[in-house]
Amino acid sequence: MSDVASAARALLTRGLRLVVVSLGEKGAVFADDTQTLLATPPAIACTSTVGAGDAMVAGIVAAVRDGAPLESIARLASAFAVGKLGLPGPNLPSRAGIEGLAARVLITPLRPSDLHVLPKRKP
């Protein structure tokens, strides 16, 4: 996990404002200039993984558009993705369903001391 979080932090040094790395069923790492978080979604019965990544991106876009802080972005994006897993076809749960899933996403802050330092790239 620390390698993924370190790589996300390294991408921020290149001018990005938000980096998200999906870890599949293990959740996702979310990083901005102030913090790095691990978002672990609740376990649900999976109907299909098709569209889960797209749903996660939709959650990210919706939260960023609303000016949400990183934890809210992580919760909403994870809820969209996990909500999609439980439904066939191009469907998402209702707003109440998404909000319920978002409340169940476990957020774990990753401290800098938890991360391995990446070697600097040579130009």
51: left (phi over 0), alpha (psi -120 to 50) or beta: left
Phi, psi of 106 (to 5 degrees): -85, 125
Residue listed under structure tokens 């070697």: 119
Q: Residue 106 and residue 14: Cα distance in Å, rounded? A: 28
Could you give the residue numbers annotated as active site?
Answer: 54
